[in-house]
Amino acid sequence: MEITFKLSEIDEVAQTLLNHLKNKTLCFHGDMGAGKTTLIRALVKALDGADEANSPTFGLVNEYHHKDGNLLGYHFDFYRIESEEEALDMGLEDYLASDAWLFLEWPEKIQSLLPTDKVSIHLHFIDENTRSVEFSLD
């Protein structure tokens, strides 16, 4: 499915994605500035998250909770890792085995570690206010 949207419509796009997803492991692909973190922020909000999603670039992973305090999910940014072993060292296998939502930016850096039933979400920059998103089950 492909959706072209204005950034002002991102909350509606997030809800549309959630209505179609069959899995909680979401892999976000796109150039720097395409809107990966912005879409994740909207998804966390749509999932009744208590936290505002921010890029975990320096910490590699952020943890988000529902407004009731229960765990919602984890947000990873693998842009800075040098090898898949770094992801394993941070306990990626445990995160993948959890029932939490997993938002993975730059998943191509850990391709062989990803589950086969992940959802690939590709964001494309069209102009300053317009993006397109396409997603598919791998």
43 domain residue, yes or no: yes
Q: Phi and psi at residue 124, in whole multiples of 5°?
A: -130, 130
Q: Indicate the SS3 state at residue 6.
A: strand
Q: Is residue 135 part of a domain?
A: no
| Any domain includes 137 | no
Q: How far apart are CA 108 and CA 84, in angstroms?
A: 10
* Residue 93 near residue 85 (C-beta atoms within 8 A): no
What pLDDT, in 10s, does the model give residues 104-113? Answer: 999 999 999 9
Give tens-digit pLDDT for 33-49.
899 999 999 999 999 99
Task: Look at the chain and report how many structural domains it folds into.
Answer: 1
What is the number of other CB atoms lying within 10 angstroms of the CB of residue 125?
14
What's the pLDDT tens digit per position in 62-102? 999 999 999 999 999 999 999 999 999 999 999 999 999 99
Q: Does residue 115 lie in a domain region?
A: yes
Alpha-carbon span 77 to 97, nearest angstrom: 18
3-state secondary structure of 40: helix
Q: What CATH code is carried by the domain that includes residue 46? A: 3.40.50.300
Q: Is residue 18 part of a domain?
A: no
Structural domain span for residue 53 = 24-128
Buried-state track 82-110, b at ≥16 Cβ within 10 A, e below 16:
eebeebeebebeebbeeebbbbbbbbebb
With respect to residue 113, please indicate whether it lies within any of the assigned structural domains. Answer: yes
Evaluate whether residue 11 is within a structural domain. Answer: no
- Examine residue 39 and state whether it is found in any structural domain, yes or no: yes
> In Å, how far are 5, 35, 96, 126 from 129, measured between CA atoms?
8, 10, 34, 8
